[in-house]
Amino acid sequence: MVKKLVDTQPKQVLLLAPDLLGQSLSTQLSSDNPYFQVTCSPNSLKKHPSLIIWSLESLESSTFINNELRLLKSKWFPSPILLLLPSKLTNKSID
C-alpha cells in the first residue's frame, strides 16, 4: 500500500510591490484562496516562500532589473519568481 504525502500547510507567497499595490494584491490573493499566506515582508515568512511576486513600477534600467533578479534567485532558490510588468512598455524605458 502506497500512501501519498500531501502538504497541508498553507503556501507562503512573498509579494514585493509598492505599499498600496502590495496591500491590495495581498488582500485579494489571500481572500481568493485561504490556502495562500501572502506577505509583503521577507521577515514575516515562517519558511521558504512557494512563490515570489515582484511588481515593477517602471523599467528604467534593464541592468538593475537583471541584477535584482539574480539576487532574488540566489537568495530564494528554488522559489519561482513572477514579474508583474507595467502596463505601458516603451523602447525608451529599457537599456
> What is the reported pTM?
0.78
Sequential pLDDT tens for the chain (95 residues): 555 556 677 889 999 998 888 888 888 888 878 788 888 989 889 889 999 999 988 777 788 889 999 999 999 999 999 999 887 765 454 44
Q: What is the CA radius of gyration of the chain?
A: 16
Q: Give the pairing type, strands 36-39 and 81-84.
A: unpaired
Q: How far apart are CA 95 and CA 72, in angstroms?
A: 21
Burial of 81 (C-beta count, 10 Å sphere; 0-12/13-18/19+): middle
Q: How far out from the chain centre does Cα 46 lie?
A: 15
Q: How far apart are CA 43 and CA 39, in angstroms?
A: 9
